[in-house]
Amino acid sequence: MPVGTYFAGSPLYCDFLNVIFCGHPHPLPIYPGEPKWPAATWGGQAQVYVVPTVYVMAGLFQVNPNFGGPSGWDWFEHGTTGLSVPLEVGWTPSFGPNHLLGHYKVGFDEDTSPYPDLFLSTNGQPIAVSGLPGQPHSGRRMYYVLVDQMLVRTGKGDTDGLIVFGGAVHADYATSPLENQVFGGVVSTASFIGRPQDTLGFAASWFQVSGALTATQELEQALDEPLTGGGLLASSLGVPVGVQSHEAELEAEYTAKVYRGVFITPDVQYIINPDGTSRIRNALCVALQINATF
């Protein structure tokens, strides 16, 4: 059971095809201490409603960089590095006679695993520089604020209406390749054009790469050495082509129900500073997704 099954998530986020915050804001689930489905770890959580609309939720989860091992039968996977200790406080109000639902969450996670400092020399050994950390770190912390609020109701369902959402995440810059993310948007049913089972949405997101990682890459660039990875998509892109600092994305999508269980989603995205570097030209992406549920 991964941390992301319970904490720092919203079903609204996966209305969009860009996985920047689908399920959870991106600085959270890409690390061993905060995985999301289908990763699997040992753990547990408890949730208590202090009053009918306010809850406190906490958990303890195994941290394992293998994300559950090679199969679901590997119940005693070795390689545990520490504990993930998430805490979330939420408010779930319902306003007015139309029951305009809202979700307001503040959360924190402490991962006790050891992580290398992102400010490293080109041979992989820590460097001590004034104002920057120079030793390996034990533990990593992340904080988040997530909000969504229905403004207009168009049906009986929890998401039948016009909903605005947003969030912010901050992670330890010394050990987290993604230090900050801010995002927001709006999703709505298409009732205003007589399509109550269709949805449309607009979203924007901004990332900041860790200041320690940026400083490392600037040093490597000055020494004419290969740049250290670890930015937005390091696992898939490998060595970055330039110093990474920030990236922004804009997205518009429309999901149309064409038949029972069949949905088509045309999607347009504009990415500024892909992979967090200005060395890559801004990109316009057009996509089409077809989902069929039997």
CATH topology assigned to domain 3-69+79-292: Porin (2.40.160)
**64/108: higher pLDDT:** 108
Question: What is the residue-averaged pLDDT of the chain?
Answer: 82
Rounded mean pLDDT, 10-20: 84
What is the model's pLDDT at position 69? 58
What is the model's pLDDT at position 8? 86
In this predicted model, what pLDDT tens digit does every residue of 50-79 receive, in sequence order?
999 999 999 998 887 766 555 556 666 677
> pTM here?
0.84
In this predicted model, what pLDDT tens digit does every residue of 225-239 receive, in sequence order?
777 765 544 444 467
What are the φ/ψ torsions at residue 188 (nearest 5 degrees)? -155, 150
